[in-house]
Amino acid sequence: MPVAMHWIALQWPAEGEPAELHQARSWWALRFTPRVAWVGPALLLEVSGSMRLWGGRRALLERLLQTGPGAAPVQHAEGATSLVALARLRLRQQGRSPSEVAALAVANLPWRVLDAARPHAAVLQRLGLRNWGDLDALPRSALARRFGVGLLHALDVAFGRAPDRYRWQALPQRFRRTLQLPQRADSAPALLWTARRLLGLLQQWLVARQQGVLALELAWQFDQLRAGGRALPPWQATDVRTAQPVQAMVHLERLLAEQLARVQLLAPASSLRLRVLETAPWLPPTSSLLPEEASEGEPWHRFVERAHARLGAGCAVAPVLDAVYGPEARQHWVPALPALPQPAPVAQVDVDMLAPLWLLQAPERLRQQDGEPCFRGQRLRLLAGPDRMETGWWTSLQPKAHQPPAPVARDYFVAQCADGPLLWVYRERLTAAGQATAAAPRWFVQGVYA
């Protein structure tokens, strides 16, 4: 038994809508069913195959009317064949009420709402024919001879005796769209408005393909070939990357805005192109049953990516410990990763119990009065020490290629300023090599017991 088809026709207000909305709507409709076609200004969807998936006719219709890009559809109609749905849509446009239109049987639909019958309006009127049933009751051969095969075929399609043939909308494999800018953009932030329209289009494509975007490229074309006496490249581009695939465009939009704020346009741009570089299958976030597990804040990777996009990679850094002796060489900082590292089992850190929690950027030379170190004119009082550190004496045994940090020979002390705070200071020890050059031991402050 053949499955009864079910067609839905939608129409939007035509005036003043941006051009890409047409494309966005067909991609949006493709998430509900693969059978989507435009007939003039009306969008047709054949939903018999996916109606159950979306929770039945009523639920699907509600979703169609509420979730579309841009404004909501002004009119909608349903029917067993595409022409019936279209005919009812036209009746609705003529101001008939929904219940009246839905109650009208197929045979009672006026022929004025059938496209194929319109060229013959004068003849049909004179023949006294009023609706589809009257036309269908005429002898087929005579009808074909008089009005052409087109009307006969349209009647067959309308009554479900012949298949509906349309140019179905298809989803491109790759996303790559170009939009003209409404006016020449002189600065990168001026591109943002058009970029936002492209991102809205991208979102429809991603949802229909069940993908999330990882990386995309925004490029803009110049409307001149030379600037400042130099030839321009045809395109200038910026990349945006994120660690987790996303479908919602809020995060990408903010990343893009931060990046564009730092970009200098080589010349005024005339058009904008958005291209997807990398996607990954989309997994919707799992919601938790327990209320307290709901996270109250944004994910780590968004925070790091946004901070890096706005202030550069140096603004959020994470420590790395190095297996080297000597306080300066023991740690270095790298840009924080968008993926939060798993907490490693606490590594044994061999550190002096008296080492301070805070260091200066670089050891600072201390002045000396009568051979004693002074900090900002105040004599330091040594409280604990010396704590001897000598590193690097073994480096002469290693191959030269390893480039170890410079050897260190120091005596560390905890010293107190006259006004109270404690400092971590050291005295350079004279090694066999240094003895020849340095006359007196030098003092440095390296850390603060803050």
Q: What is the C-alpha separation between 100 and 146, in angstroms, rounded?
A: 33
Copy the structure tokens of residue 34.
């693969």
Say whether residue 285 binds another protein (CB under 8 A): no
Among 105, 340, 433, 438, binds another protein (CB under 8 A): 340
The CA-based angle 431-433-436, given to 5 degrees, is 100
Among 39, 207, 355, 374, binds another protein (CB under 8 A): 355
Find the part of the chain contacting another protein (CB under 8 A) among 152-160, 167-175, 192-200, 340-348: 340-348
Are 241 and 279 in contact by the 8 Å Cβ rule? The answer is no
Tell me whether residue 54 or residue 413 sits nearer to another protein (CB atom).
413
Indicate the DSSP class of residue 218.
Answer: E
Coil, strand, or helix at residue 267?
Answer: coil
Q: What is the C-alpha separation between 437 and 431, in angstroms, rounded?
A: 10
Say whether residue 248 binds another protein (CB under 8 A): no
Tell me whether residue 28 or residue 413 sits nearer to another protein (CB atom).
413
Residue 229 has φ and ψ, to the nearest 5°, of 80, 5
Say whether residue 382 binds another protein (CB under 8 A): yes
Tell me whether residue 217 or residue 428 sits nearer to another protein (CB atom).
428
Say whether residue 323 binds another protein (CB under 8 A): no
Tell me whether residue 182 or residue 421 sits nearer to another protein (CB atom).
421
Could you tell me how many residues of this chain bind another protein (CB under 8 A)? 62
Q: What is the C-alpha separation between 171 and 23, in angstroms, rounded?
A: 10
Among 308, 330, 410, 427, binds another protein (CB under 8 A): 330
Say whether residue 419 binds another protein (CB under 8 A): yes
Tell me whether residue 183 or residue 348 sits nearer to another protein (CB atom).
348
Say whether residue 62 binds another protein (CB under 8 A): no
Measured N-to-C along each axis, helices 300-311 and 250-262 cross at an angle, to the nearest 10 degrees, of: 20
Tell me whether residue 280 or residue 384 sits nearer to another protein (CB atom).
384
Q: What is the C-alpha separation between 266 and 256, in angstroms, rounded?
A: 18
Burial 107-138 (b: 16+ CB within 10 A, else e): eebbbbbbebbeebeeebeeeebebbebbbeb
Among 318, 406, 433, 438, binds another protein (CB under 8 A): 318
Tell me whether residue 13 or residue 386 sits nearer to another protein (CB atom).
386
**One-character DSSP codes across 168-207:** -----SS-EEEEEEEEEESSGGGGHHHHHHHHHHHHHHHH
The residues pairing with 28 across neighbouring beta strands, listed in sequence order, are: none
Indicate the DSSP class of residue 103.
Answer: H
Say whether residue 159 binds another protein (CB under 8 A): no
**Contacts with another protein, residue ranges (CB under 8 A):** 295-300, 302-303, 306-307, 310-311, 314-319, 321, 327, 330-331, 333, 336, 340-344, 346-351, 353-361, 382-387, 413-414, 417, 419-423, 447-450
